[in-house]
Amino acid sequence: MKKLNKYWILGFALALGLSACNLPTSSVPNSLSLEEQAGTLAAQTVSAAQTQMPTQTRLPANTPTLARPSKTSAPPTASPTSTAAPHPLNPPSLKKYDFSCSWNGTNTELQMIIQWTDKSDNEQGFIVLRDGTEIANLLPNATNYTDIFAVNTGQLVNYAVAAYNNESGESEAITLSTTCN
């Protein structure tokens, strides 16, 4: 009988506890389980809280706000993008050149000094070619270059200087040739 009293007291305490929490008990036939009733109660509580809470955000009186544009002002327009093609590179002009040939004990050395006038304002640099092969890539606004090169007697050596940039490529080149006899 003591065991029966314990279970009866526990059941009574549980029923009393549930009624104190305002949870309905499952003693009514064909009713929802306690879990289903608790879920329904929770959903109703959330729904009630949402309908009672305003969804507008209120700003304190001293918070600055942006002025709305007037209805009569024109909509903003984008400034036109420059579509002008880059202007072509002007070729350098040959100012002067000097060369000398000398025997160094092993072979003949050609010393070539080339001077030009920079006629472009948009070059990224100048290239110097010897016999069609690039031998120097110079900075913008460069105006001279000195080359020392071993040659055979009577060998023709051709030089070219051109301005270049990424938009236009290379300008026309100034060219000159020389021979050590």
Q: What is the pLDDT of residue 87?
A: 77
Residue 85 in this model has a pLDDT that exceeds 60: yes
pLDDT band at 88 (very low <50, low <70, confident <90, very high): confident
Name the DSSP class of 138.
E
Contact 159, 173 (CB under 8 A): no
pLDDT mean across residues, the chain: 76
CA distances from 84 to 80, 88, 91, 115, 124 (A): 11, 12, 21, 33, 19
Residue 93 in this model has a pLDDT that exceeds 90: yes
Q: What is the pLDDT of residue 53?
A: 47
Mean pLDDT is highest, among 22-31, 32-41, 154-163, for: 154-163
pLDDT band at 140 (very low <50, low <70, confident <90, very high): very high
Q: What is the pLDDT of residue 57?
A: 44
Tracing tokens 């929770």 back to the chain, one arrives at 42
Tokens of 110: 């050609």
Q: What is the pLDDT of residue 102?
A: 96
Q: What is the pLDDT of residue 5?
A: 55
If you count them, how many residues does the chain have?
Answer: 181
**Which CATH entry fits the domain spanning 93-179: 2.60.40.10, 3.40.50.1100, 1.20.1280.260, 1.20.140.90?**
2.60.40.10
